[in-house]
Amino acid sequence: MKTKTEPQGIGGWLALFILGLIVLSPIAALNSYNSGVGSATERYPQLQNNAQWIAFASGAWWIMAVASVIKVLTGIKLIVDKRKSSVMLAVAALWVSGLGAVIAQYVLITSVYPKESGDIIDEQAGAAIATVITAGIWTAYLLKSKRVKNTYPG
């Protein structure tokens, strides 16, 4: 009779999570930035000379870049460092790079465009809700999964 072994190592949902951190999320962020800021600049070339727009586009790029770097470095850490502290860092990184980025975007929008930010704030609220749900699901997985506990002991 075979004994069932506990799942261990980077596979299954853990592999998908790490792939998402290192590849999928940065690509999605860059695509989102390009489809928003990039397409607006293409449709309205006069924005390229607008100081407010330049400040907004630069700020949005930095928020996207920092969040993406946090995710990539976290994914790499999960691959190379098999300790529970890597999982705790991943949980923190989810919230900082997700909800933290949404909050940073909100501050950026309301600082650069205080009068025109009403509709955008509604979009940010939706992004915040989606981020909380996504980060909450992955946090629960990272803290409860047998594979994660077996792969990152401690």
pLDDT of 3: 54
pLDDT of 39: 87
CA proximity to 119, closest of 110, 129, 107, 130: 110
pTM for the model = 0.91
Delimit the domains of the chain by residue range. Answer: 12-150
Amino acid at 74: T
* Distance in angstroms (rounded) separating the CA atoms of residues 88 and 153: 12
- Judge whether 14 and 152 are in contact, CB under 8 Å: no
CA proximity to 147, closest of 14, 17, 22: 14
Low-confidence ranges of the chain (pLDDT < 50): 1-2
pLDDT of 117: 65
pLDDT of 114: 83
pLDDT of 11: 96
